[in-house]
Amino acid sequence: MIYVIASIKLKPGVREKFLEIFKANVPNVLAEEGCLSYDPCVDVTSDMIETDPNLVTIVEEWESLEHLKDHLAAPHMKKYAADVADLRLSTSLKIVENA
């Protein structure tokens, strides 16, 4: 099993639009073979840490790296990427497994 943490830095003021597009694609992703979870997350407002209203973190769980590779090549992911291209500033990806 692998976990993916994708951090998506958005242009100011577009978070709700981005989340609307993202959440519309979630059922497609959850239907993919090997997808165990796929959740968009935003920073919790707290005085303990600095928060960023223009950051969305996607937390994913996949059965294998091969399943993740298939996911990234899926037609609905290509459409999603095109739909949010003008909303994003950058994306970073971290792939981890249990130690």
User: Hey, what domains does the chain have and what are their CATH numbers?
Assistant: 2-96 (3.30.70.100)
Q: What is the pLDDT of residues 53-79, one digit of tens each?
A: 999 999 999 999 999 999 999 999 999
pLDDT at 14 over 90: yes
pLDDT at 39 over 90: yes
* Mean pLDDT confidence for 22-31: 98
Taking CB atoms within 8 Å and a gap of at least 24, the contacts of 20-24 are 21/80, 21/83, 21/84, 21/87, 22/56, 22/58, 22/80, 22/84
pLDDT at 47 over 90: no
pLDDT confidence tier of residue 46, bands split at 50, 70 and 90: confident
